[in-house]
Amino acid sequence: MQIPGAQDESAWRLCVLLSAAVLPPATAALLVVMAAGGAATTHLVAVGAAAVGLHVAAWWAALRPVASFATAAAAMALLAVVPVPGWSTGVLTPSSLCFLLVLWRLVAAGPGRWAGPALGVAVAGVALAETASVLREPTGAALPMWMPLLETALLLAAVVAVWGFARAVRAQRRRAADRAAERLALARRTERAEIRRDLHDVIAHSLTLVVAQAEAARVGTREPATAQALAQLADTARAALLGLRGMLRVLDAAPSAAGDVVPSLDGLPALVAAATTPLHRVTLTERGDRRVMPADAESAAVRLVQEGITNALRHVEPPVDIAVDVDWRTDDGGDGGGSDVVRVTVRDDGGAGPRPAGHPEPAAGSGSGLAGAARRIEAAGGELAVERGRGWTLSARLPTVGAT
């Protein structure tokens, strides 16, 4: 069973309460008129019982839509065959409106497979009521032919209109549920993408530093056992890095445009110091007066530096020099500090060349660090340029506070 929304539920309860307050007195008045017109007691009891059944069905339709519809249909069939003096058919009694409420509830919020049969039952009920009405007419009665035809058309129009409106409401509710499911799936993909980026940016960078420092220490030691242990340490870290990247593929998802937890530019000196070894010389140069940056732009700048250093340590044979440059000055080289952009550049000299093809590193393009950095920079309103010569140069222009 589909659960209706809170707004639909409130409207439904209001209709049921109104029907319970307004329709029973009108039906009771009809019974008084029937009694005054000499109607049989059995007919009065039948109409009264049918009216009670209709109201009970309307009240319980929210919990038991199929059973309530069956009860309401049986009550309407009883009204169709019981003669009501002064009325062409008993289905026109005021309490009969409850049948439309029950029909709407079943089609709009009940099991979907019952929508078609419910319409068929309602149409058959109209046919039964009008047939019984014609058969009850006294012999020789000269009723115009258009009257039963008009009454049939009006009853069918009411049934089909309620059924069609209920189907439209059901379809709208299904579309709303689909949109909610899509939003939930997007939120999950975004969360997975954030986890993926954070794992890559933090853990992969740290593992790369472990490899670089182990290699540097192995070159500087004269103890064969120590050199072998350091080599094993480097290989283990590389294997862990490969395993991490395999796990990241499982977490792959479309990235969100929002920035991650914001790293600070104040952490750049520590980042550079952690990457520096005897075989990896990493320097940081900052020019001009530092200005405030938007949170997403500052995060993108730090991630770019981290990714540039990580790629150089991972893919270039040492010894290698890596230069990190943060230029707050205007683009024309002045020092007025009036520019609304900052240029962040990470450049390596190519070291002793790229690592050999047999080196246990991920295949080119298997990572997502540089692509993720580019997305962050673009989302922050910046631009990234990548140049390859003997080494790699990553250069980004990012906005500062005051940029338009």
**Domain CATH for 354:** 3.30.565.10
Asked whether residue 48 is domain-assigned, the answer is yes
The arithmetic mean of pLDDT across residues 171-182, rounded, is: 84
d(CA 403, CA 235): 46
**Mean local confidence (pLDDT), 361-382:** 68
* Structural domain boundaries, residue 311: 184-399
Asked if 133 and 203 sit in the same domain, the reply is no
Per-residue confidence (pLDDT) for residue 240, from 0 to 100: 66
Is the model's pLDDT at 77 over the cut of 50?
A: yes
Q: Are residues 217 and 311 in the same domain?
A: yes
| Residue 276 and residue 393 in one domain | yes
**Bond prior to 319 in cis (omega within 30° of 0):** yes
Residue 141 has pLDDT above 60, yes or no: no
Q: Tokens 């009723």 — which residue?
A: 143
Work out whether the CA dihedral 347, 352, 356, 361 comes out positive or negative.
Answer: negative
The mean per-residue pLDDT over the stretch 160-181 comes to 87
Query: If pLDDT is split at 50, 70 and 90, which confidence band does 161 have?
Result: very high
Per-residue pLDDT averaged across 206-211, rounded? 72
3, with CB counted inside 10 A (0-12, 13-18, 19+), is exposed
d(CA 377, CA 370): 10
Q: Which of 83-97, 266-280, 295-309, 352-366 has the lowest mean pLDDT?
A: 352-366
Does residue 207 belong to any structural domain of this protein? Answer: yes
Q: What is the pLDDT of residue 258?
A: 37
Q: pLDDT value at position 373? A: 82
How many domains are there within the chain?
2
Q: Write down the pLDDT at residue 395.
A: 94
- Percent of all residues in the chain with a pLDDT value above 70, rounded to a whole number: 75
What's residue 241's pLDDT? Answer: 64
Do 285 and 363 have their domain in common? yes
- 370 and 319 belong to one structural domain: yes
Q: How far is CA 89 from CA 52, 72, 104, 129, 130, in A?
A: 18, 16, 22, 6, 7
Tell whether 255 and 388 lie within a shared domain: yes
Summarize the confidence of residues 42-47 as an average pLDDT. Answer: 87
- What was the pLDDT predicted at 212? 73
The verdict on residue 151 lying in a domain is: no
Domain co-membership, 224 together with 355: yes
Q: What's the CA angle centered on 375, arms 247 and 204, to 5 degrees? A: 35
Residues ≥6 apart with Cβ < 8 Å to 368? 196, 197, 200, 248, 252
The answer on 224 and 96 residing in a single domain is no
163, pLDDT greater than 60 = yes
pLDDT at residue 343 greater than cutoff 90: yes
Q: Is the pLDDT of residue 87 over 80?
A: no
Q: Is residue 167 part of a domain?
A: no
**C-alpha torsion angle, residues 308, 314, 315, 316 (rounded to 10):** 90
191-199 mean pLDDT? 70
Cα–Cα dist 50/55, whole Å: 9
Is residue 107 included in any domain, yes or no? yes
Instruction: Select from 86, 112, 143 the last residue of a domain.
Output: 143
Q: What is the pLDDT of residue 1?
A: 40
Instruction: Report which of residues 216 and 53 the model is more confident about.
Output: 53
Secondary structure class of 294 (helix, strand, coil) = coil
Question: Which has the minimum average pLDDT: 63-77, 107-121, 127-141?
Answer: 127-141
pLDDT for res 255: 41
Percent pLDDT > 90 in the chain is 16
Domain contains 67: yes
What b/e readout covers 291-314, taking b as 16+ CB neighbours within 10 angstroms? eebbebbbbbbbbbbbbbbbbbbb
Same domain for 360 and 238, yes or no, is yes
Would you state the pLDDT for residue 239? 64
364 with 239, same domain: the answer is: yes
Residue 339 vs residue 358, higher pLDDT: 339
pLDDT score at 404: 44
β-strand pairing of 280-287 with 320-327: parallel
Same domain assignment for residues 211 and 279:
yes
User: Edge-to-edge, what's the strand order for the sheet holding 320-327?
Assistant: 280-287, 320-327, 341-348, 392-399, 383-388
pLDDT over 80 at 247, yes or no: no
Residue 166 domain-assigned? no
Cα gap 343→314, rounded to integer Å: 24
Q: What is the DSSP letter of 316?
A: B
Would you place residue 253 in the very low, low, confident or very high pLDDT band (cuts 50, 70, 90)? very low
Q: Quick one: 227 and 362 in the same domain?
A: yes
Examine the fold and report which residue of 143, 176, 208 is the final residue of a domain before the chain moves on.
143
Q: Which of 128, 143, 158 is the last residue of a domain?
A: 143
Residue 271 has pLDDT above 90, yes or no: no
Decide if 171 is inside a domain. Answer: no
12 alpha-carbon distance from chain centroid: 28
